[in-house]
Structures are given as structure tokens and as C-alpha cells.
Amino acid sequence: MAETFTCSFTATELDARSGIQTVLDRLRAMGVPEARADEVQIALTEAVNNVVEHAYAGMAVGDVNIDCSLDTDHLWVSIGDSGVPFKNNELPSGARQDLTVATEDLPEGGFGWLLIRELTSDVQYERSDSGNNLALRFELQARNAKPA
């Protein structure tokens, strides 16, 4: 039986920071190992940054709804928003960029989706009338016993 919880916050940089911290505190308390929790924090931050920067761009800022479902061997973290869809309703590939270029030509962006793809075992995206739902899956081989 999966354990679930939800957390909502306004899609601003500072509210996102504290909202993500709340989610991570909860996951650690539920026994997600520290190294995996760090990885969830990195990937979740990138997904939420995208909502803040793109989904609500040019419209009234809305909420980000985080929905976590923790099973014995995996964790799903869903990020919901009521903003605009991804371009062409498709997720960015997160492809690696060429880093063997001259310093002045090095990329300064495009690392967010690379990090999400590297840190998750699956990514699902659904667009509905009410908005976007992005679900990130993380494997949990060595979940700790829950603290008493």
C-alpha cells in the first residue's frame, strides 16, 4: 500500500524553495535515503523552476501542486499546474550539449531537463483541460526503516 501526501504553494521562486523543502522533509521522515532524497530535490527543483518560468509566463501566477506516492521500491512525484502546456505538448529531450567548445561558446542553460532525465527512471506527462501534470519516478532500492 503506497503512502501518499500532497503539498501546494504559489508558483514563485521563493514559495517554490520553501515548498520543495517541505516535500523533502516529509520524504526523509518517511524513510527515503539521504542520497536519493538529494536527487529528488535536484529533479523536483528543475521541474518546479520550469513551472515558475514557463507555465505561468505572461499570465496570473497560479499554484503548484505536488503529489507524492511512496511505495516500497519506488516513489512517484507529480507536479501539477494550471498554466500553459509544454511546447507542442512534448517534453524537452534533455539531450547533452557539446561541451568541447571554446569557453565563450559554452551553454549557460538547457541543463534542467538533462538533470531530470538523469535522475529519474521514468517521466510521464499529461495535459488536461485544467493544466499540466508531470510525474517523475525514482527507484528506492534501499529505503531506510522509518524513524520511530
Partner 1 sequence: MSLTSTTADGTQIVTVNAERIDAAMAIQFKEDMRATTENGPERVILDLSEVKFIDSSGLGAIVAAMKQLGQGRKLDLAGLTPMVDKVFRLTRMDTVFDLYASLPDAQSANRLNS
List residues near partner 1 by CB under 8 A: 13-14, 17, 35, 38-39, 41-42, 45-46, 49, 52-53, 96, 99, 103-104, 106-112, 114-115, 118-119
In angstroms, give the least distance from the CB of 83 to partner 1.
16
Q: Which is nearer to partner 1, 84 or 114 (CB)?
A: 114
Q: Which is nearer to partner 1, 103 or 130 (CB)?
A: 103
Q: Which is nearer to partner 1, 2 or 110 (CB)?
A: 110
Q: Which is nearer to partner 1, 61 or 115 (CB)?
A: 115
Closest to 120 measured CA to CA, from 60, 58, 36, 53: 36
In angstroms, give the least distance from the CB of 128 to partner 1.
26
In angstroms, give the least distance from the CB of 104 to partner 1.
6
